[in-house]
């Protein structure tokens, strides 16, 4: 009978003590690695592709891609005016749009809507109605200043006033406060 070229080595047979020693060594390495951490980086880092903000989320919402809660019958809703800015100071711009029905005759009432982008999909959506078209108001001047939406609003003192001739003129101001848009009337508002 032929003898193996290499004699059987005692350390090639595992015993329970070997497994205990291996487990202890691995646990020691894991514990040591959690204690020994690198120092925090102090140098300014250049923005790489992984740190750039998604333009679909940081761009102002486009009102042409939104279904507005306005009833126009066979006519379509059009955006007459819009302004953009960060109204709630979250780092993402909102769009405020003045919308009315595209009719051939008369002055259709306006709706004023605040749009934002969904945080998860980036899809623009209506999050607030500042003026409901059912209130029969028309917006003339419209701007965004110092985080507030400003508008000059024409309306009617009673339902007997014909749609052609608004007899009330108000200056309105909306500002984001405590999770909602709060309307105030700046000094100098008056009735026509």
Say if residue 47's pLDDT is above 60: no
Percent of the chain with pLDDT over 90: 48
- Core vs surface per residue 69-91: b (16+ CB within 10 A) or e: ebebeeeebbbbbbbbeebbeee
Say if residue 115's pLDDT is above 50: yes
Say if residue 12's pLDDT is above 60: no
Distance CA 68, CA 133 (A): 11
**Structural tokens at position 162:** 């014909």
Residue 21 has a pLDDT of: 62
- pLDDT-derived band at 9, boundaries 50, 70, 90: very low
Residue 8 has a pLDDT of: 47
Q: pLDDT digit string (tens) for 24-39?
A: 666 655 555 555 555 4
Which element (helix H / strand E) includes 169?
A: strand 168-177
Residue 49 has a pLDDT of: 46
Say if residue 167's pLDDT is above 80: yes
Which 3-state string (H, E, C) describes the chain? CCCCCCCCCHHHCCCHHHHHHHHHHHHHHHHHHHHCCCCCCCCCCCCCCCCCCCHHHHCCCCHHHCCCCCCCCCCCEEEEEEEEECCCCCCCCEEEEEEEECCCCCCCCCEEEEEEECCCCCCEEEEEEEECHHHCCEEEEEEEECCEEEEEEEECCCCCCCCCCCCEEEEEEEEEECCEEEEECCCCCECC
185 neighbors 172 (Cβ within 8 angstroms): yes
96 vs 188, more confident: 96
Q: Which of 101, 177, 171, 105 is nearest to 136 (CA)?
A: 101
Q: Which of 55-64, 111-120, 124-133 has the lowest mean pLDDT?
A: 55-64
How large is the average pLDDT for residues 154-164?
89
**Dihedral, CA of residue 181, residue 118, residue 93 and residue 82, to nearest 10:** -70
Residue 25 has a pLDDT of: 61
Residue 138 has a pLDDT of: 94
Q: Which of 140, 160, 136, 158 is nearest to 150 (CA)?
A: 140
Residue 104 has a pLDDT of: 78
- pLDDT-derived band at 150, boundaries 50, 70, 90: very high
pTM: 0.67
How large is the average pLDDT for residues 52-63?
71
């Amino acid at each position: 009978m032929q003898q193996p070229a290499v004699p059987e080595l005692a350390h090639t047979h595992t015993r329970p003590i070997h497994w205990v020693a291996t487990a202890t060594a691995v646990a020691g390495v894991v514990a040591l690695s959690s204690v020994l951490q690198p120092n925090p980086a102090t140098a300014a880092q250049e923005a790489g592709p992984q740190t750039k903000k998604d333009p679909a989320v940081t761009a102002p919402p486009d009102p042409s891609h939104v279904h507005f809660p306005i009833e126009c019958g066979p006519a379509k809703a059009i955006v007459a005016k819009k302004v953009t800015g960060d109204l709630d100071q979250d780092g993402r711009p909102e769009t405020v749009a003045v919308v009315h029905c595209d009719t051939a005759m008369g002055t259709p009432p306006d709706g004023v809507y605040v749009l934002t982008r969904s945080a998860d999909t980036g899809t623009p959506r209506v999050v607030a109605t500042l003026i409901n078209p059912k209130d029969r108001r028309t917006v003339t001047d419209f701007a965004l200043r110092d985080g507030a939406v400003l508008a000059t609003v024409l309306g009617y003192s009673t339902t007997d006033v014909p749609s052609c001739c608004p007899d009330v003129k108000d200056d309105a101001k909306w500002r984001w406060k405590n999770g909602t848009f709060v309307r105030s009337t700046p000094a100098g508002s008056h009735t026509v």
